[in-house]
């Protein structure tokens, strides 16, 4: 076990990602943020909370997306769906997908498929807390990345919210 981000580093990384998103999203009326169920929601909740604190006068459109039934890589077990909560149109908007760890890219591919049910966005960007750079199975890269790390396939990266740290197992 190795700590990749301790509590202070995790908080700073989330703050930095929030500031980067605001820096590159000048018109929050044309931008929507979507956290990916289940693990990306904790990251997105914290980022959106910070964005709302920094821009209290702006309406931040934020939803969560369940991609369970769009996945192509887990077929052996019964799938338990999470909740999708997107109460706004993404048609013609910039969509920022937020997730915890980018690994093979299959979750993001599934999210892109699921997004089509809600309209056609003008642009889609990806924000991740941790990018496991050399394990991609699909050509997907983050636009915003908290920490890029090199891992081998047998290792696991987990965001431990109870202890507020990111750990490599």
**pLDDT tens digits, 52-70:** 999 999 999 999 999 987 7
For residue range 87-120, list pLDDT tens digits in order. Answer: 899 999 999 999 999 999 999 999 999 999 999 9
pTM: 0.92
Within 55-146, residue ranges assigned H as helices are 106-115
Q: Domain range holding 44?
A: 2-71+80-168
Residue-level pLDDT at 44:
98
Q: Give dist(CA 9, CA 25) in Å, integer.
A: 24
CATH of the domain at 118: 3.40.50.2020
Closest residue by Cα to residue 51 from 119, 120, 127: 127
Above pLDDT 70, what percent of the chain?
Answer: 93
How many domains does the structure of the chain reveal? 1
User: Which band of pLDDT confidence, cut at 50, 70 and 90, is reported for residue 125?
Assistant: very high
């Amino acid at each position: 076990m190795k700590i990749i981000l301790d509590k202070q580093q995790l908080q700073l990384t989330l703050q930095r990602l929030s500031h980067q998103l605001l820096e590159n999203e000048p018109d929050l009326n044309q931008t929507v943020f979507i956290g990916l169920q289940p693990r990306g929601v904790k990251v997105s909740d914290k980022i959106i909370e910070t964005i709302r604190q920094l821009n209290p006068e702006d309406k931040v459109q934020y939803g969560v997306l369940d991609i369970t039934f769009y996945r192509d890589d887990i077929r052996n077990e019964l799938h338990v769906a999470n909740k999708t909560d997107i109460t706004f149109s993404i048609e013609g908007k910039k969509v920022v997908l937020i997730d915890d760890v980018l690994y093979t890219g299959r979750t993001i591919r599934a999210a892109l498929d699921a997004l089509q049910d809600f309209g056609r966005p003008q642009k889609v960007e990806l924000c991740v807390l941790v990018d496991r750079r050399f394990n991609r199975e699909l050509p997907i890269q983050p636009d915003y990345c908290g920490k890029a790390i090199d891992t081998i396939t047998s290792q696991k990266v987990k965001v431990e919210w109870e202890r507020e740290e990111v750990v490599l197992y």
